Amino acid sequence: MDQRPRLADVAARAGVSTASVSLVLRGAPGPSAETRERVLAAAADLSYRADRTASLLARRRRHLLGVLLDVRNPFHAELVEEVQIEAGRAGYEVVLSTLTRDRDEARALETLLDFRCEALILLGPDASDPALDELAAQVPCVVVGRPVAGADVDVVRPAEDVGVDAALHHLIDLGHSRITFVDGGRGAVAATRRRGYRRAMRRAGLVAEVLPGDHTEEGGVRAGRRIVAEHVLPTAVVASNDRLAVGVMDAFVRAGVDVPGQVSVVGYDDSTLARLAHIDLTSINQDAPAQARNAVQAAVSRLDGGRTRRLETVLVPHLVVRGSTGKPRPAG
């Protein structure tokens, strides 16, 4: 069994990221003098030697794009399919690395780095802007689905405020005024949608109500049960994503609350869940093919075209109206 120290072992000994270790050992700019000293000392202590075969491989074009995704997110599955198609057209192969219950973002990213992908496409990452900037110093990165302000990464994202506005305008035009939002948790995408809801409600002169949730069906069920337990039901619910919306609807069905007769429900992502006939969920469509196409083009233009300027592409989402929304029931 190979017991040679790995890049991750040096990073752990030095107390820095694997990206920083790689930059130091390659003599690349970025890390501070103190970081360089710690990394070199750790490498010496561990008798770390870079794999020469791997180094030679790294000098040749591999034409691999690494994709980070949440395996539990059906919208990510749609994006990956489109990314695979676009990458194939550009002459690239795709390596997938997934988030699961016991596999976090850092570990998933380390896998992509171990595969020596030439560029990374990150679907809705939760990493901080400084962490993304550090990653981008090692390999070109495209972030899909969320804004990034302080990192040298390319961004492809929907105009979330436009999407949330479309959902609320639809409900308000139907006559709804008591509209509850089920939150998507601590992630960057969820935070953007939450802010969009509060802003849109404030502009409409309505009272915002945000219920805690996460990005799962179970989180939606919990929120739905809490809504049912309230003395007065809202007339409409907007969920941060389709999985939450489906969970809310499940709780309503079990409690005998009619959708949309008593409460209208709107999701976000327009995933395959939303299109199922027995769910028939009104939802915000983000144009997965366009996001994938722009993400792959951004990566390839850096790798093949030599582009260095940061690129941000903002796409306009649109509302798809289905059977989960309708006019509110008259009071009394």
Would you state the pLDDT for residue 53?
Answer: 41
CB distance 164 to 319 below 8 Å: no
CATH number for the domain that contains residue 228: 3.40.50.2300
Sort 331 into a burial class: Cβ within 10 Å, 0-12 / 13-18 / 19+.
exposed
CB distance 23 to 31 below 8 Å: yes
Please indicate, yes or no, if residue 329 is contained in any of the structural domains: no
Would you state the pLDDT for residue 52?
Answer: 43
Which is more confidently placed, 56 or 105?
A: 105
Please indicate, yes or no, if residue 274 is contained in any of the structural domains: yes
User: Taking residues 45-56, what's their average pLDDT?
Assistant: 61
User: Taking residues 265-294, what's their average pLDDT?
Assistant: 95
Please indicate, yes or no, if residue 193 is contained in any of the structural domains: yes
Cα–Cα distance measured from residue 308 to residue 297, given in angstroms and rounded to the nearest whole number: 14
197-211 pLDDT, tens digit per residue, is 999 999 999 999 999
- Same domain? For 51 and 166 the reply is no
How many domains are there within the chain?
2
Please indicate, yes or no, if residue 253 is contained in any of the structural domains: yes
CATH number for the domain that contains residue 56: 1.10.260.40
CA-to-CA dists, residue 193 to 71, 213, 214, 265, 268, angstroms: 21, 13, 13, 16, 9
User: Taking residues 211-218, what's their average pLDDT?
Assistant: 92
Would you state the pLDDT for residue 225?
Answer: 97
User: Taking residues 288-316, what's their average pLDDT?
Assistant: 94
User: Taking residues 77-84, what's their average pLDDT?
Assistant: 95
- Same domain? For 54 and 172 the reply is no
Would you state the pLDDT for residue 215?
Answer: 85
Task: Say which amino acid occupies 58.
Answer: A
Pair of tokens at residue 17? 């990221």
Would you state the pLDDT for residue 142?
Answer: 98
Q: What percent of the chain has pLDDT over 90?
A: 70
Please indicate, yes or no, if residue 295 is contained in any of the structural domains: no
> Maximum Cα–Cα distance for the chain, whole Å?
78
pLDDT of 130 over the 50 cut: yes
Comparing 18-32, 63-77, 155-169, 243-257, the range with the smallest average pLDDT is 18-32
Mean pLDDT of the chain: 90
Please indicate, yes or no, if residue 55 is contained in any of the structural domains: yes
Please indicate, yes or no, if residue 120 is contained in any of the structural domains: no
pLDDT of 102 over the 80 cut: yes
Count of Cβ atoms closer than 10 Å to residue 310 Cβ: 13
Q: Which of 36, 60, 84 is the last residue of a domain?
A: 60
Cα–Cα distance measured from residue 81 to residue 87, given in angstroms and rounded to the nearest whole number: 10
User: Taking residues 239-253, what's their average pLDDT?
Assistant: 97
- Same domain? For 164 and 282 the reply is yes
Domain extent, residue 269, equals 160-286
Would you state the pLDDT for residue 50?
Answer: 61
Please indicate, yes or no, if residue 135 is contained in any of the structural domains: no
Strand ordering across the sheet containing 64-70 = 93-99, 64-70, 119-123, 141-144, 154-158, 312-315
- Same domain? For 164 and 280 the reply is yes
222-242 pLDDT, tens digit per residue, is 999 999 998 899 999 999 999
